[in-house]
Structure 1
Amino acid sequence: MCTMTWTEFLDECNEFLKISEKLNDTWSLYKKNENEGNSFLIHKQKITININQPPSDTANQSNEAKSETANQSNEPKSETANQLNNETVNEDDNSEIIEMECHNKESTNSIAIETANEDDTSEIIEMEYHIVYSISYQVPVLYFRAYKSDGSFLELQDSWRLFRSYDENETIRTRADMLSILTQMEHPVLFKPYFALHPCRTSDILAQTGSSSNRVLTFISLMGPYLQIYLNNKYGLLL
């Protein structure tokens, strides 16, 4: 287990900000008041993802439908078979997912997390990230909001496409898996709905990194890439 106090979190955030300023990066610190937990790091950037094609829900059912259609092509076509063959079966694009897992058993439907490629129609999304201290878990938590070009919020399932996985061979997670990884929560400082990476395993993950002189930096370096935050390598050199 690797936890930190509020004072340690704030000190390491300030140290992180000094490095950010030296590198002309865009991180900042929001301070609501002096109360515990009421300050957090902010980072904004624009990314491009494909959000026009909805995530494939119940991927297993889709695979079964494709198999059934293929089998029918070798059989005499009845009226029902012709109707089935006239239906389009959505095929998932190359997908990427996050590997973190927490305890959640809300559903067993499978989904595919899709990312933009050259053949897809993509949209620019404005991301706002908050690194917030969790008083209950005593670890940093990554909250974020994603805005479309028209100013509307990205929906939960669309936000799953933001994930970048370290395992390119693994493309499908169950809906319960994704809900346990990324969930909508009330922001503990702003009291508004935000998406967040669930902190249930953050302490264990930080513990596996060994001794770190700045756990906030380590947290962002480890968790940030899943949501397309990529720190300059010089952050580690300037500690």
Structure 2
Amino acid sequence: MAAERNPASCYLDERTFQLCCQLFLQHSETIQDGWSWEQIKGTDEGFMKKTLLIPVKSSVLPKTHECSMQDENMLTDDTQANVEDETAGVQAVCEIHAVLCYEYHVLYSFSYQIPVLYFRASTLDGRPLSLEEVWGNVHPNYRQRLQQGPWDTLTQQEHPLLGQPFFMLHPCRTEEFMKPALDLAQAENKRVNYIVTWLSVVGPVIRLDIPLSYSTEVSAPD
């Protein structure tokens, strides 16, 4: 009788989290996509951070933030690519009337023993988006499912390390989508980087896409 395979754990300790992040950040530096590690002064704690400019249609915002020349100049090559992906055509740029600034933080949760994605969003003039506006900018492929459950997780609360208001994707459902991915990797005798797998799933919900090269180039910690 073949020995039963132990199920892959959906949890990780802080050291494994930090090692996964270190490998993730090494690849980020190679491809220059803007991730960094932010250390909290006087402590051993920190988090991964990325800021991204995202063009959207003004219809997702109750208060139109008209696109100025400054907005257009601030669009990076990645943002221009996002414009093309978002609207699927050369008419895309003409339909974009607002640019939002999203700041993403990846933290370790000691309570859940898993990573958590915090973020905040604002217009380029610094006006924070409301929860309603953030919901309006959730990718359409996910919005209806999120609002009906099973996630029920997009909320606003205090950042545990900065003490500032942030939005977050609550980690209560992480095991639900991570277990199948980790079990499949184990069945195929593949070792995956937890942060890469996890962020590839949760990121696109709030406009954070992870390049495929992370899955092929970033290894699991030893």
State the TM-score, normalizing by the size of structure 2.
Answer: 0.69
- Are residues 1:181 and 2:153 paired? yes
Matches of residues 19-30 of structure 1 in structure 2 within 5 Å? Answer: 19-30=27-38
Which residue identity lines up with residue 40 of structure 1 in the other structure?
Answer: F
Counterpart Cα distance in 2 of 1:222 and 1:174: 14
Distance 1:5 1:52, change over 3 A: same
CA–CA separation in structure 2 for the residues paired with 1:13 and 1:238: 14
Q: CA deviation at 1:40?
A: 0.7
Q: Report which structure shows greater RCO (CA 8 Å, sep ≥6).
A: 1
Instruction: Give 1:185 shift.
Output: 1.2
CA distance in 1, matches of 2:156, 2:57: 21
Aligned to 2:79: none
Deviations 1:117-175 (A, max 9, x none): 969663100110001111111111111010112211001000012212446xxx74686
Check conservation: 2:13, 2:113, Cα contact below 8 A.
Answer: yes
Quick one: which of 110, 113, 117 aligns to 1:135?
110
Distance 1:174 1:188, change over 3 A: closer
Residue of 148, 152, 158 corresponding to 2:123: 148
Q: Given the alignment of the two structures, is residue 230 of structure 1 paired with residue 209 of structure 2, yes or no?
A: yes
Distance change (3 Å), C-alpha of 1:8 and 1:33? farther
Secondary structure of the structure 1 residue equivalent to 2:48? strand
Coordinate RMSD, CA, aligned:
2.9
After TM superposition, where is structure 1 displaced by more than 2 Å over at least 4 residues in a row?
Answer: 33-36, 49-55, 115-122, 171-181
The structure with the greater share of residues assigned to helix is 2
User: Rg bigger for which structure?
Assistant: 1
Whether the 8 Å CA contact 1:206–1:219 is kept in 2: the answer is yes
What whole-Å deviation, never above 9, does each CA across 1:201-221 have from its counterpart, x for those lacking one? 112321110245210111111
- Residue of structure 1 equivalent to 2:82: none
- Which of 48, 55, 61 is residue 55 of structure 2 equivalent to? 48
Amino acid aligned to 1:237: T
Instruction: Name which of 162, 166, 171 aligns with 1:199.
Output: 171
User: Residue type of the partner of 1:200?
Assistant: C
- TM-score computed with the length of structure 1 as normaliser: 0.65
Paired residue type of 2:129: L
Taking structure 1 as reference, are residues 179 and 155 closer, same or farther at Cα in structure 2, changes over 3 Å only? farther
Q: Which runs of 5+ in 1 are unaligned?
A: 56-114
Number of residues of Structure 1 aligned to a counterpart in Structure 2: 176
Q: Distance in 2 between matches of 1:164 and 1:209?
A: 22
Measure the CA separation in 2 of the matches of 1:213 and 1:44.
25
Q: Give 2:154's aligned amino acid.
A: L
